[in-house]
Structure 1
């Protein structure tokens, strides 16, 4: 009986790590998944650096006997924020203008 309870509880322990959302705290403001670039600038200011890249993705769809292909263009931007020597720099990633990820980099200067 005890092992059966653990089998039910164990998957719940993995749940928080599987649904982490991207967010960045700038002073008292918080920006999260789906925020626009203008929202991030309004709350965090201009970044130290900006990098842009484009990627093409071929999507295939099938409807019964008919299949179709289309190419979707995606634009990614990575903005680097330096919050000083006592905090890790943050790299904010946008896909087509919407925040999708925040990654930590090395310590700032």
Structure 2
């Protein structure tokens, strides 16, 4: 019986987890690969940093045979790339999101976030502090 369970687990494991599935949770909603850039911003808000660049890529669009020689037809396209980093504070991992032409193509967890992402500003002596929604605000 144990041998059959082991075999079943071995056969079913690629279908249960393929290693590429990763979703970013923002509040109660999930952001997954393929989501448009405006949707991610509306769900998660503004990122801590944005890096933009462009990359030229050459792609083969077809091939033909001329006098016994294969000739490949290719086209060069320019792709706009934006890399966003979300910092959720020291208790969660930061997330790096990569967009190509406005579509999320890759998500990557980074190290733990920084404390400055959630810390209030330092108060000066003789300033009153009121607690509003569990955050410190200077009154």
Matched, 1:84 2:89: yes
- Give unpaired runs (5+ residues) of structure 2: 66-70, 115-139
Q: Secondary structure, in 3 states, of the residue corresponding to 2:42?
A: helix
Structure with the bigger RCO (C-alpha within 8 Å, sep 6+) is 1
Alpha-carbon distance in structure 2 between the residues aligned to 1:52 and 1:16: 35
Looking at CA atoms only, which structure, 1 or 2, has the larger radius of gyration? 2
Q: What residue in structure 1 maps to residue 23 of structure 2?
A: 23
Question: For structure 1, which segment, 29-38 or 12-21, has the greater mean C-alpha deviation from structure 2 after superposition?
Answer: 12-21
Greater than 4 Å deviation, 4+ residue runs: 6-9
- Give unpaired runs (5+ residues) of structure 1: none
Q: Secondary structure, in 3 states, of the residue corresponding to 1:13?
A: helix
Q: Secondary structure, in 3 states, of the residue corresponding to 1:18?
A: coil
Alpha-carbon distance in structure 1 between the residues aligned to 2:15 and 2:50: 33
Alignment RMSD: 2.6
Q: What residue in structure 1 maps to residue 133 of structure 2?
A: none
**Structure 1 75/11 Cα, relative in aligned 2: closer, same or farther at 3 Å?**
farther
1:62 Cα shift?
3.1
TM-score by length of 2: 0.65
Alpha-carbon distance in structure 2 between the residues aligned to 1:107 and 1:9: 33
Q: Determine if contact 1:56/1:74 at 8 Å carries over to the other structure.
A: yes
- Residue of structure 1 aligned with 2:102, choices 91, 94, 97: 97
**Structure 1 10/63 Cα, relative in aligned 2: closer, same or farther at 3 Å?**
same
Q: Determine if contact 1:35/1:99 at 8 Å carries over to the other structure.
A: yes
Alpha-carbon distance in structure 1 between the residues aligned to 2:92 and 2:10: 34
Matched, 1:58 2:63: no
1:21 Cα shift?
3.1
